[in-house]
Copies of this chain bind each other. A is one copy, B any other.
Amino acid sequence: MSTIREVAAKAGVSVTTVSRTLNNRGYISQSMRERIRKAMEELNYQPNEVARSLSFQHTRMIGVLVPEVNNPFFAEVVTRLSRELTAHGYRMLLYIASGTDDDAPDYIAMLRSNQVDGMIVALRSPSVEKELRDGLPTVSFERLPSGGLPTVVCDNLEGGRLAARELLDCGCRRPVMLGGRHAIENFPAFERFRGYRETMEAAGYPAEIYEINEEDYHNDYSEAARKVFLAYPDMDGIFCTSDRIASFVMQEALRRGVRIPEQLKVVGFNDCIAGQCAIPLTSVRQPLDEMCAAAVDCVIRQIERQPITAAMSFPVSLSRRVSTRGYVASPYIMRR
């Protein structure tokens, strides 16, 4: 039985490199791994776990699965996850579901065959669920817990409450909520609707909710915006479950000559593009930096077999802007 020193000598590398290879620390090129592996075989320096660690080596790659990145929210999420992962010496293998998540299972299988060390998943569909039920370190992002995965979400319930209160505080008496898929329990919108409804009903106002139907629920919400103005011609406030939806509502309002915020007050959710809208949009803000850092920390902790918090919920705040408060001395963000 030979020593690690002999292996290093035979492979023509330092002892450190051999031990880093054995412990999967730092970056060792595939060819050098191969050389070291050969040297071990020839010197018969090869306990089983080493052989295994060399075939199933860590790749320091994390698979990130999102429904879209041309949605500003997920663009911000992917940007922050990428930053965090790079800071920890990991790379991001990104999967963007093409509208449907149908090919996600194949992709997850690919990721496996490609030996990602873990996954951060912002998709939620039965097909994906099934695939995620095994030992691979995984974190579910911005989807309610399901399938017992560790989850990072924001306090969507409170977000709905904040939006409702803002509309009431600004004097809205015929408010409407606009969003989609709130029937699906594991979508964040569900909790937002619940918080909105609670608050409106507690204040003695009807919780008018206009649900965007499936065929209008995509990147272009102009059709949904037109319909809500037809359904509620006299609405004086509207809470949209995303800033993107809100931007189409404001577009439709300007087109109809409806003045914001004088005649219609608008509140969005996510606060990613809200500050850039032609009419700066009041929006419920999620602490994305903290949420993304937590997701990355959680997946790395699982990889390193450390204890984790299984369900993390982060507080939201309200960014008040022109769409509810009008142009004030500074039109720029006032945090609650």
Contact = CB atoms under 8 A, between A and B. Distances in A.
Chain A: interface size category: 35 or more
A223 to B, nearest CB: 11
B93 A107 contact: no
Interface string A85-102: 010000111111010000
Contacts of A282: none
A78 interface: yes
Contacts of A112: 29
Q: Which of A61, A75, A279 has the most CB of B within 10 A?
A: A75
Contact of A93 (B30, B69, B78, B91): B91
A220 B275 contact: yes
B114 A59 contact: yes
A186 interface: no
A216 B258 CA distance: 33
A196 to B, nearest CB: 23
Contact of A92 (B31, B72, B93, B280): B93
A109 B112 CA distance: 23
Interface string A266-280: 000000100111111
Interface in A101-121: 103, 107, 109-115
A163 B38 CA distance: 62
Given A30-B56, A251-B280, 14 more contacts: A27-B109, A30-B113, A72-B72, A75-B75, A78-B94, A79-B96, A83-B98, A91-B93, A91-B107, A93-B93, A248-B276, A251-B278, A251-B279, A278-B278
